[in-house]
Amino acid sequence: MNERYFFYAIAFSFIFVSAFVLLSFSEVKIQEDHFTKIYFNTKILEKNNEYGIKVNEGNITLNDSQYNVGDSFFINGKGYTIGMINNDSILLYNYTKKVNGLIFFEYTIENVEGSDKDYSYTILIDDKKILEGKESVRSNEKKILYNEIKFNEAGDHRLSILLNTGAEIHFNFSSVK
């Protein structure tokens, strides 16, 4: 009688181990992540560029004005902030960090949700709602958005962009009077 339980135990162990081995080598299909990307755009310019920006030691010259890292300026109606300068190139953020009455920012909403989507967004300055909007973005496409906001309050501030998906981006800026 004890031999019978012994054979049952061996048979059960064999079946259990075989099933475990087969499952470990079988292909498991993992569902792709679907999400939304939102980010501020950047631009990298070479030393010799189409904007006429000249690279100097640690700063740049544009239209006879000098700018350092962190300074903001406008070219052709778009605002930029200098992120980094080296001997060969300049990294520009597509938003203004030092503001004199006008905030400019450019950002992208990228839809990798797997289907066309309507996005609602809210733009806040220091947690106060400034602007709301809606954008439709087709599946696997991106939409570049530009905004200008008049703002004259002195001091340090934060601009935030919130999507209805829960995604958020922000940057800090100073308003100069």
Span 146-177, pLDDT tens digits:
999 999 899 999 999 999 999 999 999 998 75
Q: Is residue 18 included in any domain, yes or no?
A: no
Location of structure tokens 């740049």: 60
Count of helices and strands (H, E) across the chain: 1, 15
Amino acid 30: pLDDT: 46
First to last CA, the chain: 96
pLDDT greater than 80 at residue 52? yes
Tokens standing for 30?
């993992």
Averaged pLDDT, 73-96:
90
Location of structure tokens 């300049």: 90
pLDDT greater than 50 at residue 78? yes
CB 66 within 8 A of CB 13: no
Q: Is residue 29 included in any domain, yes or no?
A: no
Q: Is residue 12 included in any domain, yes or no?
A: no
Q: Is residue 26 included in any domain, yes or no?
A: no
Q: Is residue 9 included in any domain, yes or no?
A: no
- CATH number of the domain that residue 119 is part of: 2.60.40.10
CB 70 within 8 A of CB 96: no
Averaged pLDDT, 19-44:
71
* Structural domain boundaries enclosing 108: 35-175
Amino acid 50: pLDDT: 86
Q: Is residue 27 included in any domain, yes or no?
A: no
Q: Is residue 55 included in any domain, yes or no?
A: yes
pLDDT greater than 70 at residue 109? yes
Number of domains within the chain: 1
Q: Is residue 15 included in any domain, yes or no?
A: no
Vertex 174: Cα angle to 80 and 49 (nearest 5): 15
